Amino acid sequence: MTHDEVRDLASAVADGEAAATPAYREHLASCASCSGYAASLDRLRVLTAALPREPAPVALPQRVRSRIGRRRVAFRLVPALAAATAAVLVVTLLPGPASFPVRSAGAAEPLLRLRSLYVERTVGEDTQERIWWRAPGSVRIERHTPDGDTVEIRTPGSAYDSGLLTTGVAPEIALPEPISPTVALLGRDTGPGPEVAGRPTRRYVLTIGGDIRVAYVDAGVALRDDERIVLVKGGGPVTKRVTAVRIDTDIPDSTFAAPAGATRTDAGFRSRPLGSLRVEPASRPAGFSVVTAGRGPDGDAVLFARGSLPVLVRTGGLAASERGEVRTVVRGGRSYLVRADLYAPPGVQVVRRGVTLTVSAPLPLDALVELAARMYPE
C-alpha cells in the first residue's frame, strides 16, 4: 500500500468505518511516519471524546419537527434529499447509549489529567531504566544491564520485545509500574514521604498475598520503593530510585515505533464494531470512548478510556496471578469475584446473559464493582 492509501484507511479505521487489513498493519509496522499518523488519529479521537459536552436544549426536538413541517413541500419536490435529511435528523435526535458517571476519586483521579510521563530510574545496583508513556496506552521501556540492553514497546494493537514485533494484539491496560496506581488505590497512606526527583511524596503501604510493598507516591505516580519491598526476583530486596521525572511533555510518535528489521508475527486479534461483540455493555461510563475493540483467539475485548483512565472488558474469568489475591464481594445481593494485584489494575468478574466477563480498571475495588454492575446489570 502507498502512504496515501494507508493514511486514508487510517482515517476510516479511526472513525470505525473500516477494518484494518493485513497490508495496512504491515505498512504501519515498517513505516514510522504512517504509524505516527495513525496513532495521532487515535489520540485525537480519545481526547475529543473526553471533552465536556453541553446537553441539547429541551425544546430542540420540537423546533426541528416544526422546521421540518414548514419545509414539507420542499421535501416532496426532492424525495431523495428529503429521505437523507430525515435519516440524519433521526440519528441526531435519537438518544445514544445510556451512560453513568464513574467514581474516580483518590489515586485514579490524576489519570483523568495525566497525558504523558518520562522517568529515569535505577533498579537495584546495576540496572538503569528509561520509561516513556503516553495516553491512552503507549509505553516504551529501555533497560541497561551488565548483560546488555533491551527495549520493550507496547501500543494499542502491537507489542515489541527482543527483536520480535507482534501485531494483532488484544487490548490491554498499558500502565507501566511507575504510574500504576495500585499502591495508592489499595494501600494505606501513612503520611509524608521524602522528596524524590524534586517532587514531594506520600508514603503508602500495601499488603497483598503476603507481600508488603511500600512506595512513595506523587500525583498517582509511584516514584520510589523503599528497601522493604521484596519482589521475589532472586529472593532479595530491590530498590527502585527515580532520578528524573517529566510529566505531560510532548513525546514524538517515533518513540513508540518498533525498530526496522524486527521479526513479525500476528496474534490474531481483529477490530470489530463494539455492537457485534459479547462485551457490548448495557450502559457505558460517561466521557469514555472506545480505543480499540474486536475479537481474537482468546475471545472478545474492548478498551475504553477517558483521558488516561482506562477500562478494559474481555470475555472470560479473572486470570490467575502469582502476585495477587482473589476474593468474593457481595453487593446488592449479587456476588462478584474481585482480584487485587501488585502489578495489574484490579479486576472484577461478572456474568451477564450466560457470558462471563472481566472488567479491569485502576479504580478502588468498591468503585470497580459499582462500575461493573452498572455496565453489566443482571
Mean pLDDT of the 276-301 span: 94
Q: CATH 3.30.200.100: which residues of the chain?
A: 267-375
Q: Where does residue 275 fall: left (phi above 0), alpha (psi -120 to 50 degrees), or beta otherwise?
A: alpha
Considering only 39-43, 50-54, 109-113, 286-290, which range has the smallest mean pLDDT? Answer: 50-54
Contacts of 51 (CB under 8 A, 6+ apart): none
Q: CATH 2.50.20.10: which residues of the chain?
A: 107-254
Around 141, how many Cα atoms within 13 Å sit in the side-chain half-sphere?
Answer: 19
CATH code of the region 107-254: 2.50.20.10
- Give the pLDDT confidence score for residue 78 in this predicted structure: 42
Mean pLDDT of the 313-325 span: 85
The secondary structure of residue 248, as a DSSP letter, is S
Mean pLDDT of the 181-199 span: 86
pTM greater than 0.85: no
Helix segments in the chain, DSSP class H:
3-14, 22-30, 32-49, 60-70, 72-77, 79-93, 182-186, 365-375
CATH superfamily of 267-375: MucB/RseB, C-terminal domain (3.30.200.100)
- Give the pLDDT confidence score for residue 171 in this predicted structure: 94
- Give the pLDDT confidence score for residue 22 in this predicted structure: 73
Provide the residue count of the chain.
378
Longest dimension (CA), the chain: 82
3-state secondary structure at position 374:
helix
Average pLDDT, the chain: 80
